[in-house]
Chains A and B, each alone.
Chain A
Amino acid sequence: MSAAIEVEGLEVSFPDGRWRVSILDGVDFRVEAGEVLALVGESGCGKSMTALGCMRLIPKPGRIDRGRVLLDGRELLELPVPAMRQVRGAEISMIFQEPMTSLSPVVTVGTQVVEAIRLHEKISVSAARKRVADLFARVGIPDPAERLDAYPHQLSGGLKQRVMIAMALCTQPRVLIADEPTTALDVTIQAQILELMRELQRETGTAILLITHDLGIVNELADRVAVMYAGRIVEEATRHELFRQPRHPYTQGLLRSMPALVAPGEPLHEIAGTVPPPSDWPAGCRFVDRCPRAFDPCAGPAPDFQMLGRGHSAACHALAAEPGE
């Protein structure tokens, strides 16, 4: 069975002076239909680039150097541009972090969603508007018929994100990529949007790639989690497994720095240092400079993935050195 979306060995680079610097270095993951995969990591680790890579929307002058993106087994990176355009918005949709700026300020929100439908379906404007009104009602926008003619600045951030969700779901895509969908929203609104996404996902069975740095959101929504560090995935596991038994030192650090997961009274952990810029990434394991368990082999070639149990894998030399479990 082919996954809803499967990414293999995705490599993306940007020019930096005379050289090209890799931003993504062999990213692999797959999301099954009806599943939520959370892609977690600090800012600057390449989460958003991965998302844009799946859509083939890497901003210039960046480019995809290598890898495969399979949608239901169909290779997207080799599709001609017009065919890819037909995929975007119809089979893969995306929700962005900034609802405030992600909608065109000079066009009514209704028209923008109608455009998304009419780009992919031969349908009259009035029919499309009716459908958008229904969609608005479904994503919990009050007075949907009136909101159609509202401009983005007349809506609150939460409503705008609901519009974005309606726009992403209007064509019933196979895959929904949500890039930090709630980061820019108030906490109360965050909960509502997450609730909405969970509901819609249950109804439609869309595969969701959820990109976030917030482990709380992961805990709420994700089935499986992939942890990313400096352009690579370092650990992948089911949500339950990952929170229970993180194996990669980076994941462990990440979890221990999360207030909700630390017992009251214990000090919060912090990972020393920051993510280095892509041009300074170490040749081998990229976490080596910040890793508490770094030892000789870590300076050598990058570690391979190890299966650590059902659906749980991580890439770390220290795990390879441990006696087998």
Chain B
Amino acid sequence: MSEEQIKNLEAQFEARIARDEKIEPKDWMPEKYRKTHIRQMSQHAHSEIVGMLPEGNWITRAPSLRRKVALLAKVQDEAGHGLYLYSACETLGISRDELYEQLHSGKAKYSSIFNYPTVTWADMGAIGWLVDGAAIINQVPLCSTSYGPYARAMIRVCKEESFHQRQGYEIMIKLANGTPEQKEMAQDALNRWWWPSLMMLGPTDAESVHTEQSMKWKLKRKSNDDLRQQFIDQTVPQADLIGLTIPDPDLKWNEERQSYDFGPINWDEFWQVVKGHGPCNKERMNARVGAWERGAWVREAAMAHAEKKASKNQEKAM
């Protein structure tokens, strides 16, 4: 194809997206669109998969059967969401194996929040309430993104995820209304998860390199700073309601903006965690790669069994 032809195709492609048409796997797309989508969708899938680890830690120690079935179902959903997103990503011509390889080698990123430890039961509450809360704010606009398979996966993810946040908030309510020790535990979890949850919505708009292009492709519908403000405005009253204090001395309602003003975010910490120096980066990757390697013989045995069965069926047919 000549350069002019490609330019022409690109212009038509951008126009289709501007008209709110969806792009489907076999449609022509610019290489950059394909690569950007593989990057974002796989990052999203990896986050779901690694996101199971901090919570898996508490399944056996959940304080009641009610809490245990809920947490188990939530972690199972996360596995499911990872699988929806991996499948959607594979429609762009990259294999599952390549995607795993990128995660395991550290080439691909996942959400930095999962590199923080879950040291008490209250962390299950804080993760559901804050981390899933922030994730939902990020994900809802993606239900109308331009790439069909991604949008369809996100619709299913969002539908399922609303229970995740509620189960987390319910844990916090119970603890906040419990003994002084339990309330202290809830406050401590909020103190530790608040700032990482704000960071999770991504670097400030001034630092965000992909925003403009992503907005055009509807991979992003609101800027990181707007999403963060939305998250803060919706979460502060929820903390007030259950008598917990947001750990930000600068947090103040701004009557004029009809929004909360908030204190500075420690972006050095964010970049440290992104670069692999968070409290649990190594532990998470070891757990993930270890599980993959320990499962190798199962995958091979299943394949061998399937082949043997297929060849037996073939013999019978002859």
Say whether A associates with B: no
